[in-house]
Homo-oligomer: A and B are copies of this chain.
Amino acid sequence: MLKLFVKSSERLGLPPGTPIHTGKRLTDATAIAVMDYNEEILEERTVDTVEEVCRYRDTPTVTWINVNGIHDVEKIETICSRFDIHPLVLEDIVNTAQRPKMELYDNGLFLIAKMIYYNDNQELIVEQVSFVVQDRCLLSFQEQPGDIFETVRNRIRQKRGRIRRLGADYLIYSLIDAIVDHYFVLLEDLQEQIERFEEEISVDTKPVTLTRIHNIKKEMVYLRKSIWPLREIIMRLEREDTKVIGETVTLFFRDLYDHTVQVIEAIETFHEILSGVQDLYLSFVSNRMNEVMKALTVIATIFIPLTFIAGLYGMNFKYMPELEVPWAYPVLLAFMAAVGLAMVIFFRRKKWL
């Protein structure tokens, strides 16, 4: 079962703002990757200490600081204090059980989103990504290194599109866009699974199908929970005067909003269709069962009266005149065949067979 929340007993009684890492430790060390760029120059490197990161903070270029691994709470805490990030934000970054949310602080914008994908074992992974935008500087916190953001990195490296010409607001748009684009990959996968179910159940009805439908339904519940709040966040980013998102980029967020709505609609459509498939499955199961039972019962019903007749002439009464007649046996056999045939014809006509 997917864990929706991990906030738990260990947190009980701690004062608010205490950063406690929750969730599995998905990577070994916390790695910090910095991309510092403007239209002309691009500096890309991996830094080891928090001090090095701060060097990029006040440059006039756009700086993207990507932190992989959030279990090293102390390191995260140091970064946050250097960047004047509120303790409650820090708490949210390391607690992976957050809902997607956006908060506006005096010195910037804080946003939590969920990356969702199937891992190599076909398990649905929900990973939390936190963003902090301050002027020309964007910090992103991932639970583990992943390749979802790689396409954005490549666009920066190869100067494709507008990304090098625009600021941190376009960068955060590009990153969220990358996340939402991956939802579509997931939807394709779901669609294929549903299509496969539809084909399967018209051929055979295995009980395991039900469990798999149940599991996909559960996955969709989690998907919806993770994506629904994102829609409102993007709408707020587009509409509210956040001071962080420039007017040029607003248009792109409107486009992104459309995509999110598409994802949500698709999930709801799938949910509805899946319920239909489940009903269909149950009807098919019951149909087949009925067919079997009917056929078998018909066979039994044909032979039971015949057996009775046979039993009749197996009785040992002394005076049973029929038993003496030479042609009685063949006549009885013929009679039995006739009865059997009549019943088959009757059942056929009644559409029972």
Contacts and interface: CB of A to CB of B under 8 A. Distances in A.
Contact of A218 (B202, B273, B295): B273
A191 B323 CA distance: 67
Interface of A: 1, 3-5, 7-9, 11-18, 88, 97-99, 101, 103, 150-152, 154-155, 160-163, 174, 177-178, 181-182, 184-185, 187-188, 191, 194-195, 198, 202, 204, 207, 210-211, 214, 217-218, 221-222, 225, 251-252, 254-255, 258-259, 261-262, 265-266, 269, 272-273, 276-280, 282-287, 289-290, 292-301, 303-308, 310-320, 322-329, 332, 350-352
A182 B12 contact: yes
B191 A202 contact: no
A1 B198 contact: yes
Contact of A285 (B181, B287, B312, B320): B287
A299 to B, nearest CB: 5
Copies of this chain present in the complex amount to 5
A162 B290 contact: no
A5 B262 contact: yes
A34 to B, nearest CB: 21
Given A262-B97, A293-B293, A299-B304, A217 B276 contact: yes
Given A278-B279, A296-B352, A319-B328, 7 more contacts: A204-B351, A221-B273, A297-B300, A310-B315, A317-B322, A318-B325, A320-B329
Given A218-B276, A221-B273, A329-B317, A185 B9 contact: yes
A5 B184 contact: yes
A301 B278 CA distance: 32
Given A5-B184, A303-B304, A151 B12 contact: yes
A252 to B, nearest CB: 6
9 contacts: A15-B155, A15-B163, A16-B255, A207-B283, A214-B280, A283-B285, A316-B323, A317-B322, A319-B328
A254 B314 CA distance: 88
The 10 A-B residue pairs with the shortest CB-CB distance in the complex, in nearest-first order: A15-B161, A13-B151, A310-B311, A313-B315, A314-B314, A317-B329, A307-B308, A319-B326, A296-B301, A296-B297
A352 B297 CA distance: 13
A150 B12 CA distance: 11
A304 B310 contact: no
A174 B207 CA distance: 50
B319 A316 contact: no
A287 B125 CA distance: 31
Contact of A303 (B11, B185, B282, B308): B308
